[in-house]
A = this chain, B = another copy of it.
Amino acid sequence: MSALRDAAAAVGVGETTYSKESGRTELSLACEAIKKAAEDAGVAIEDIDGLVRYDMDHVDEAALTSHLGLKNLRWMSQVGYGGTGGNAVVVHAAAAIAAGAAETVVCYRALNERSGVRYGQGATWMKDEVGGAEAFQMPWGMLTPAHLFGQFARRHMIEDGTTSRQFGAVAVALRRHASLNPRAMMRTPITIEDHQASRLIADPLRLFDCCIESDGACAVVLTAADRARSLRHAPAWIMGVSQGSGSRTSGIVFRDDLAVAESTYTAAEVYRSAEVGPEEIDAAMIYDHFTPFVIFSLEAYGFCEPGEGGSFVEDGRIEVDDVLPVNTHGGNHSEAYIHGLPHVIEAFRQLRGTSTAQVESAELILSCSSVAQLSAAVILRKD
């Protein structure tokens, strides 16, 4: 992985307003976010020669060549498996740059998830025919992400004694961070009691364990080392990266063990490639589709021992002025659900010193995905 270390840097970010109903096309949202990111970086639109996107994104590269005026893309790739593959877009961009296949690559995500296709609705996933792993899940009513990921949460409770109140501690921390963030959609602070009183969505997941639903888009510009140094702002270096699938990860029914996650692999590799360890990380941006997965990731990435994530998150330890600030923007849970890419943007903002929940002297930030068929992680370093 050494060829990748510091070969690329994040140099600009862009976001639309996050809302429950954008009233615009996803293409329009994507164009706005990408233009803002290019402007923030100080690069011209025609300098963009690579795009990396989520395969679930409805905005494709050809549409962007026509609507943004891109001249010729030398790199186009897609990442699968939803938001948990999110950091993988940055991995792909960094690899393309390291290999010389492109110089200035944009990662983006645009979706009208609240006013359009709602991932949390069973009807979204219903099909006339199912095959593969779904054939073992859907007939039992496991349609939505909450149905599936609730099983992992329950397994952790059984194995390690993790409690719903500990999930609640994550929700409280993320909402507190969002309360400081004017971009955030959910800014009213909550308590653990509010969490406990929120309705069950898919046992053991309560409403306040789940990410919100949002419309919006965001984008990150990465460029090669030489170019990065010449731009407007100090770059945030892509110091280490990893992608991982684990083994037997098709659905949940084939897994040998719900406690052994892809993150086990991606954690080891991201630290190896960055040549740092968890004790050097100043803040972590963790994909929070559901609060228990923040706990699992804290264990997988070595911030505490396996099984101790539940107690680690108690008493505000993942809040901004404490042991390990997590999702200082509010995350999918409270800022907006733009499928995890804002986590990378927040890492960048922390290193630039412009977070609304700024971590004092932040130098190294981990952004990581979570369990679910594909995971990825990136460590960003201050210039």
Q: Residues on A close to B: CB < 8 A?
A: 1-4, 7, 25, 27, 55, 60-63, 65-67, 69-81, 88, 91-92, 94-96, 98-101, 131-133, 241-251, 254, 262, 265, 269, 373-374
Contact = CB atoms under 8 A, between A and B. Distances in A.
Contact of A250 (B7, B66, B81, B88): B66
Given A4-B99, A65-B250, A254-B66, A27 B132 contact: yes
Contact of A72 (B7, B71, B245): B245
B1 A65 contact: no
Contacts of A249: 62, 65-66
A251 B67 CA distance: 12
A262 to B, nearest CB: 8
A259 to B, nearest CB: 16
25 contacts: A3-B3, A4-B100, A4-B101, A55-B55, A60-B80, A61-B374, A62-B245, A62-B250, A62-B251, A65-B248, A65-B249, A72-B244, A72-B247, A72-B265, A73-B244, A73-B245, A74-B243, A74-B244, A74-B269, A76-B79, A76-B374, A78-B80, A95-B95, A95-B99, A101-B243
B101 A247 contact: no
How many copies of this chain? 2
Nearest to A273: B100
A65 B95 contact: no
Given A65-B250, A72-B262, A74-B244, 16 more contacts: A3-B99, A62-B251, A65-B248, A66-B249, A71-B247, A73-B245, A74-B265, A76-B79, A76-B243, A77-B78, A77-B79, A94-B99, A95-B95, A95-B99, A96-B99, A101-B243
Contact of A101 (B71, B75, B95): B95
A52 B4 CA distance: 19
A69 B250 CA distance: 11
Contacts of A245: 61-62, 65, 70, 72-73, 76
Contacts of A77: 77-79, 92
Given A76-B88, A245-B73, A66 B133 contact: yes
